[in-house]
Structure 1
Amino acid sequence: MRASLVSPNFLYLVERDRSDADGDAPYAVSDHELACRLSYFLWSSMPDQALSDLADAGKLHDPAVLEAEVRRMLADPKSRALAEDFAGQWLRVGNLAELAEPDRRLFPEYTPELRDAMAEEAITYCHAILREDRPVLELLDSDYTYLNERLAKHYGIEGVTGPDFRRVALKDRNRGGVLGMAAVLTITSYPRRTSPVLRGKWVLEEILGTPPPPPPPSVKALPPDDRVKDGMTFRQRLEQHRKDVNCASCHSRLDPLGFGLENFDVLGRWRDQINDEPVDASGKLTTGEDFTGAAALKAILAESKRELFLRNLVERMLAYALRRGVEYYDIPTVKQVMAELEANEHRGTALIVAVAKSFPFQNRRNERQGAH
């Protein structure tokens, strides 16, 4: 019994090489292997009876049958696992307790209850986009979110009572989408101050898929708080920092994105002032767009940066489904999934269906051949 419990065949999802495969040529996985891939992709669990029955009947490679199964499985409550795991990794909210450490003396309201509510908003929101077949562009901007009483109070939104999360209409468009979520805004802050640099870096990496290079080793650290020093605000000090030729190229990309989110404090609450001075949330992107505030920034991302966002989302979802990184030979698949997304109004289900129908999801090579 002990040997069985520690066997790789018990602990891992194993797909065996085919002895009749032609060298390292790709071949279609079996129906049962496809059922397992689909189930662990959408549910993080084993296939149910309905999915197993279709695999037994050899029907899962039928595109119409596969699409119907994807839709059925997304409608099942078990699809929350996809939102928990994918959004948890992508938005980094899965380990909020480890990543976010606001100074408890300055922010005593940051309790485990509030922290958990922050993470739940992001997960419930992402699950709704997939399960309700919403446009994935609503990840960037929307007029709603999901709140319970604790988080609604944190945001200053009235009329929400009880611990259960429910959809809430937003009057303030600065808040809608992942960039207005407290979990994201807290993760991208330091313990005692917000960080336009961290927030800008997060947008470049997680939203646009265009990460900046690491900072040079000789760069001076910025102060840990945002107090006025030597007559200069933190923003003024950051702008002075950007004049360093070693820092300018990256900070010209990072800082404006982060400045657009400066109306949100360390815990993601709205603020109009920093140290009794009006918040300056204006910025100008390296591509020329001027904006002031989160709503205007999100509008730019949803329009002129749409293709970058969609490509990044597709690559991340494909990597999640395949349980490996996206490689150069996956580029045709990425383009194909993006085309399917465009043809279907960017709906969440269209993204999942296209990934499930994709060549790398339905095919493999023998590992012993040293293939990809």
Structure 2
Amino acid sequence: MASHSSKTSPVGWSLALTLCFGAAAVTAAGCNEAEPEPGPAPAELVPDAAPLARLTAEQYRNTIRDLLPTVNSGHITFPVELEGRGGFENNAAFNTATPALVEAYQRAARHVASAAMEDIDAMLGCESLEEGCARGWLPGFAELAWRRPLTQAELDTLLANFDSWQGSHGTDVAVELSLSYLLQSAEFLYFPRFGTETVIEGTDAVPLTDYELASRLSYFLWNSMPDAELLDLAREGRLQDRQVLADQAFRMLGDYRAIDMVVSFHRQNWDFDDVGSNPIDLDYYAPVFEAMGLEAEDDKSDYYYLEYSPGARFESDVFVAQHVFHGEGTLEALLTSNKAWVTPDVARLAYQQEVDDSLAPITWGGLVAGEGNDEIGVWTTEYYPIELDPMQRAGLFTMAGFLSAKAGPQQPAPVRRGVTILDRLMCIELVPPGDVPPLEEAEALEPKTNRDKYAIHSQSEACAGCHDSIDGIGFTFENYDSLGRWRDTDNGYPVDATGQLLGTDQDGPVNDAVELMTKMGQSRAVHDCYTKQWFRYAFGRNEAAADVETVLAMQEGFWSSGGDIRLLIVNLAGSYSFRHRRAQGL
């Protein structure tokens, strides 16, 4: 996971914020009014019965990190996770267990158990050979791993297995096999949400149990297991109180794990991992690299793929973390701010600026692909605060990461840029017809600029319907080349970055990407789409008919709050749908 300059209570914002999403008003300090429980409701308005969810790769690594701190979980890998509509790895409908995944879980459990044994006495909190030490430790560890108390039958089975292994192979082997058993069990890998046995009168909904709520909240806000405070509240039966749950959400947002969660949401929603995945034509951009003193082909390649691309990739992470937790904390700020944190290499190459190295940097990094599909590397470096030219840069989508990811080897890709804005910012999904010829096969006059080439779309009746809206957005990014650098000319001709918005709540002509992002930051449709994506992430599934009221309430509250991201998160965690599920069999 990313390393931060601070790991304790980084959130500098007041907890005395009023939550007015829906009918009830709640604050971190107390309820303004009691939450009204719903009366009789038609079946389509009760919480949906979601498919069985399981740990994502990120959640697995985080859980091992918190459960067994001496074990390095960063290099644990699993088969590629499918993504549902919205692009989230935790979508339960898509992440079914395959034979390859089951084998990967078995390997991971054996690896973790073996690594934990390297310091067994520290893990147990006593000498492993002391009478009853390991056997006495095991039930408490199992409760942490399974995130709930064990039934008597489960406890009997666990201890019986331990006694058998200990008698045959000794204490150390019994501990290792017990660890492996616990970590590849369904109780560890999945999130069963059966709820209580009480159906709420007049509805088809049942409340989740306290332990189910503890896990649901922790894996939403931290992508990891509940901590001691959450488990204590669950043990006391207090988490079904909405105000207690909201207070815990506020508390948990002050932990570094919440920063990682918020970054992870935006990483998936806005395709941060695409940065560095597309090839660049080093010969075409040779003058740029040579101006920096890079003459040899290998030097250019190493600089771009090993220095520039990782720096641009995690620049987006730092931007999100700083603005959400230390800045305005609004969606508009993410879309329009020119205040960034960059590496010296990205500042120099993408923005033609130098960082002020007298300013305190932020150390940040994360996991990057290594050599081979099963290898992961860790990349960290320092990011310095910088003010980008406000006439050229406004928010994440005018930064080097997005611009270089949505580009071709030589020229920008206005279609990819436009589709991303429509899809990920406005929730407008475009499905192209299957009989459209490739762009280069269309007949047209020899294009002078990149824009001229893509303007061919508008000459085809089959293409124009979609591309009028796509290109109207994509062309506004023509001032940025495939490295994310600003350019005034293309092939010797002045860049035309004008465009238009069609079919939106901000329709009209747009001069350039800065004006486009200003409009996006002020768009109700963009705020509603962003809220819907957070719903999908928080619930691990797409919205259904049963979720209409919840989504509408969240959207109204988010808009009326000025787009306060942290408030949206807390209100999702306190929502009726988050705390309930459809009764079994209904």
Shared topology, TM-score over 0.5? yes
Number of the residue aligned with 1:28: 207
Distance 1:166 1:61, change over 3 A: farther
Q: TM-score, length-normalised on structure 1?
A: 0.88
User: Residues 40 and 290 (structure 1 numbering): CA distance in 2 closer, same or farther, change over 3 Å?
Assistant: same
**Are residues 125 and 67 of structure 1, via their aligned partners in 2, closer, same or farther at CA, if it must alter by over 3 Å?**
farther
Residue-by-residue CA offset, 1:59-111 (whole Å, 9 max, x unaligned): 3333333233222212211113213321121111135344x332344354522
Is 1:191 the equivalent of 2:409?
A: yes
The residue identity in structure 2 corresponding to 1:143 is N
Residues 103-160 of structure 1 deviation map (CA, whole Å, 9 limit, x = unaligned): 3443545222222222212112222343236112212211312222222223222233
Q: 1:17 to 1:49 in 2, by over 3 A?
A: closer
Q: Deviation digits for residues 234-270 of structure 1, max 9, x if unmatched?
A: 3223223312111110000000101111111112111
Q: In the alignment, which of 490, 506, 512 is matched to residue 293 of structure 1?
A: 512
1:275 maps to 2:491: yes
Q: Which residue of 2 aligns with 1:174?
A: 392
Partners of 2:312 and 2:346 within 8 A in 1:
yes
- 2:197–2:206 CA contact under 8 A, matched in 1: no
Q: Does 1:235 align with 2:413?
A: no
Q: Deviation digits for residues 305-354 of structure 1, max 9, x if unmatched?
A: x1111111111111111111122321211111122223323212111011
Who is 1:336 aligned against? Answer: 553
Partner of 2:185: 7
Structure 2 residue identity aligned to 1:33: E
The one-letter amino acid of 2:247's match is: A
Structure 1 range deviating more: 79-88 or 352-361? 79-88
- Residue number in structure 1 paired with 2:252: 73
- Indicate conservation of the 8 Å contact 1:125/1:146, yes or no: yes
The residue aligned with 1:262 is: 478
Structure 2's unaligned 5+ residue stretches are: 1-176, 286-299, 362-380
Instruction: Provide the C-alpha distance between the structure 2 equivalents of 1:131 and 1:260, rounded to a whole number of angstroms.
Output: 30
For residue 345 of structure 1, give the secondary structure of its aligned residue in structure 2: coil
Q: Please name the residue that 2:297 is paired with.
A: none
Match for residue 336 of structure 2 among 128, 141, 152 = 141
Q: Give the corresponding residue for 1:102.
A: 280
What residue in structure 1 maps to residue 319 of structure 2? 125
- Larger-gyration structure (1/2): 2
The CA distance in 2 between the partners of 1:67 and 1:250, in whole Å, is 43
Letter in 2 for 1:146: W
- Deviation per residue, 1:248-295 (Å, 9 max, x gap): 100000001011111111121111111111111011222551121111
| 1:196-244 Cα distance to aligned partner (Å, 9 max, x none) | 1111101000111112222x222221249xxx97354332232233121
Deviates more, 1:234-243 or 1:314-323: 234-243
Give the aligned partner of residue 92 of structure 1.
Answer: 271
* 2:525 alignment partner in structure 1: 308
RMSD over aligned Cα atoms: 2.5
Residue 497 of structure 2 aligns with an amino acid whose one-letter code is: A
Distance across 1 between alignment mates of 2:274 and 2:223: 18
Matched, 1:40 2:256: no
- The amino acid of 1:180's aligned partner reads T
- Matched residues in 2 for 1:82 and 1:30: separation? 24
In 1, Cα distance between equivalents of 2:467 and 2:499: 12
| Contact kept? 1:355, 1:361, Cα under 8 Å | yes
Rate the CA distance shift 1:267–1:4 in 2: closer, same or farther, 3 A.
same
Q: Distance in 1 between matches of 2:324 and 2:577?
A: 22
Contact 1:130 1:348 (C-alpha < 8 Å) held by counterparts: yes
2:438 is matched with 221
> 3-state DSSP class of the match of 1:191?
coil
> Alignment length, in residue pairs?
362
SS of residue in 1 equivalent to 2:336: coil
C-alpha separation in 2, matches of 1:283 and 1:231? 18
Q: Which residue of 2 aligns with 1:159?
A: 355
Deviation at 1:22, TM superposition (A): 8.0
Q: Distance in 1 between matches of 2:280 and 2:262?
A: 26
Which is further off, 153-162 or 275-284? 153-162
One-letter code aligned to 2:428: T
SS of corresponding position for 2:510: strand
- % identity of equivalent residues: 28
Contact 1:96 1:115 in 2 (8 A): yes
1:66–1:21 Cα change, 3 Å? closer
Per the TM alignment, residue 17 of structure 1 is displaced from its structure 2 partner at its CA by 5.6
Letter of the structure 1 residue corresponding to residue 356 of structure 2? V
CA distance change for structure 1 residues 143 and 96 in 2, over 3 Å: closer, same or farther?
closer
| Alpha-carbon spacing, 1:69–1:106, altered in 2? closer, same or farther (3 Å) | farther
CA distance in 1, matches of 2:332, 2:240: 30
Give the partner amino acid of 2:514.
Answer: A
1:211 to 407, 423, 429: 429
Deviation of 1:11 after TM superposition, in Å, equals: 1.9
Residues 63, 357 of structure 1: 8 Å contact kept: yes
Distance 1:199 1:20, change over 3 A: same
Return structure 1 stretches of 4+ with deviation > 6 angstroms. none
- CA 1:218–1:5: 2 relative to 1, 3 Å: same
* CA contact 1:84–1:94 (8 Å) conserved in 2: no
1:112 aligned onto 2:112: no
Greater Cα offset, 202-211 or 125-134: 125-134
Question: Please, which moves more after superposition, 124-133 or 239-248?
Answer: 124-133
Contact residue 403 and residue 482 of structure 2 kept, 8 A: yes
Question: What is the one-letter code of the residue matched to 1:267?
Answer: L
Following the alignment from structure 1 to structure 2, what is the Cα–Cα distance between the partners of residues 332 and 124? 34
